[in-house]
Amino acid sequence: MAISTADFKNGICIEYNGKLCTIVEFQHVKPGKGGAFVRTKLRDIKTGRVVDYTFNAGTKFDQVRLESRKLQYLYNDGDALNFMDPTTFEQMPVALEVVGEAAKWLKESDEATLLYAGEELISVEPQMFVELEVTDTDPGFKGDTVQGGTKPATLETGATIQVPLFVEPGDTLQVDTRDGRFIKRV
């Protein structure tokens, strides 16, 4: 389905230069002299990069319908991560290359959102906050500073994050998966 710049809305997915992009922000501009144009910020869905583009008013684009499905993560078989649809119990493997960085935030039986453009799987997004157990970290010593002191900690999924000095192996932490930031000890 083709849409023009007059139909732009934040969040719409379009195909531009052979890439799938979502509209982050747009602004129609009508200068005193010359034709109208539209300034946009487009996010490349695969890479996450945001780039500014300017289009003439009335330019047509192909709109892409995005569909998201919530699936349960089952296990990693080495080449792919296996997910299950909780309603149909259908299992599907997803290649590690497609999952990318999201794999370090997934543990067995967690829910993840898979984003499809048509029939093509384009991304796997873990929950925004996950609770993971610390498997390895250096001990914090008495007298270490309470404010601002951090140390690296390895979590049960293999991810490494910076944590406060009071965190010890065996603690369960809440982590923000968007930036890998420690939120709190659970």
Portions of the chain given CATH number 2.40.50.140: 68-126, 129-185
pLDDT tens sequence across 135-166: 998 886 655 555 667 889 999 999 999 998 88
In the CATH scheme, what is the code of domain 68-126?
Answer: 2.40.50.140
Locate 4 and state its tokens.
Answer: 């023009």
Fold designation for 129-185: OB fold (Dihydrolipoamide Acetyltransferase, E2P) (2.40.50)
Per-residue confidence (pLDDT) for residue 131, from 0 to 100: 92
Element (H, E) at 154: strand 150-155
CATH architecture of 2-63: Roll (2.30)
Portions of the chain given CATH number 2.30.30.30: 2-63
* Amino acid identity, position 149: G
pLDDT tens sequence across 30-58: 998 889 999 999 988 877 789 999 999 99
Report yes or no on whether pTM surpasses 0.85: no
Element (H, E) at 43: strand 37-44
pLDDT band at 1 (very low <50, low <70, confident <90, very high): confident
pLDDT band at 27 (very low <50, low <70, confident <90, very high): very high
CA–CA separation, 2 vs 60, rounded Å? 6
Q: What is the mean pLDDT of the chain?
A: 88
Residue ranges in the chain assigned as alpha helix (H) = 96-99
Residue 19, CB half-sphere, CA atoms under 13 Å: how many?
Answer: 14
Q: What is the mean pLDDT of residues 4-8?
A: 89
Q: Are 155 and 185 within 8 A, CB to CB?
A: no
User: Would you give the end-to-end CA distance of the chain in angstroms?
Assistant: 48
Q: What is the mean pLDDT of residues 104-127?
A: 87
